[in-house]
Every structure is written in structure tokens, then in C-alpha cells.
Structure 1
Amino acid sequence: MSVRVRIRVDALDKIATGQGLRTRYAIAKRLGVSQSTVGRVLDGEQLPGNPFIAATLTGLDVSFDAVFEVENSEQPTPDQAAA
């Protein structure tokens, strides 16, 4: 089983807009990460890593569940498939 953290883009957009952050640049600046990282995560090209998650929680003052969700996949990881 594989476990991944995914961002809830709609929730982040709502929270960011409520805090006056209307662009990806503004979100990136508040979080202290690059605009390209914000774009890749929001576009689903990259899963949020620990630094991005921590920056989001502290920078936007939100709880984990307000913006992120844990996804369980029944597909085996490469390590599990080889066993």
C-alpha cells in the first residue's frame, strides 16, 4: 500500500483568497517557496513535500486537514511488488 499527501486546491484557493492572496506569486511569497513550486503542486505535477506542507501550515495559519488529504493507494510500491 502506498500513502501520499495531496493538496486540496479548491480549499487552498479559498483560504488564500480570504487572506488577500490572489495570485500564485502572492502565495509563494507568503509561504517562502518558489512560484514554480507552488505552480507544480497546484497543477498536480508534484506532490507537496514536507517543506511545502510546513510552509503552508505556518504561512497560512491553517490545520493540515484544511488544505491537505492523505490518499491510500492499494497498488503496491515497486519494493512491495518485488517481494
Structure 2
Amino acid sequence: MSAQVRVRPDALERIGIAQGLKSRYALAKRLGVSQSTVGRVLDGEQLPGNSLIAATLSRLHVSFEDVFEVDGTDNGAAA
């Protein structure tokens, strides 16, 4: 089974607001991506790419689990 990384939109917006980023534009500017990319990811229309994930972790100083979740992992696989 294939795993996908998904953003937790409520968490990302809450963290952005806590850091003074009161709009999607401000969040996008801090992350170094386009406003449309942030919008599509937060609205669930697009999965976050590696660059958005890396920018979120490094520029917002959060852990992966604070903002992202892994969906579709195969928990039944033998170790």
C-alpha cells in the first residue's frame, strides 16, 4: 500500500496565526511558496510536496507531527 503525507489544515493555520501570519498570503510568503499552493494544500486539493514540507518544518520551527500526518500506511506489514 502506498503512503501519502497530508497536511492537518487546522494545525497549520493555527500555528501560522500564533506566529503572526494572519493570512494565507503571509503564510505562503514565510514558506517561500505561492499563495495558490498554500490554498490548494490547505483546501485538500493538493498533497504537500517535499519543498513545502521542508519549508514548514524549518521556517515555522515545528515538528512533522505538529502539522502533517501519514495516510495509507500498511500497518499489517511484517517486520
Normalising by structure 2, report the TM-score: 0.89
> Cα offset for 1:2?
1.5
- Percent identity between the aligned chains? 69
Moved over 3 A (4+): none
> Cα offset for 1:13?
1.1
Unaligned stretches of 5+ residues in structure 2: 75-79
Unaligned stretches of 5+ residues in structure 1: 75-83
Partner-residue secondary structure (3-state), 2:72:
strand
Count of aligned residue pairs for this structure pair: 74
Over the aligned positions, Cα root-mean-square deviation in angstroms equals 1.1
The structure with more radius of gyration: 1
> Cα offset for 1:73?
5.8
Name the structure with the higher strand share. Answer: 1
Normalising by structure 1, report the TM-score: 0.85
> Cα offset for 1:7?
0.2
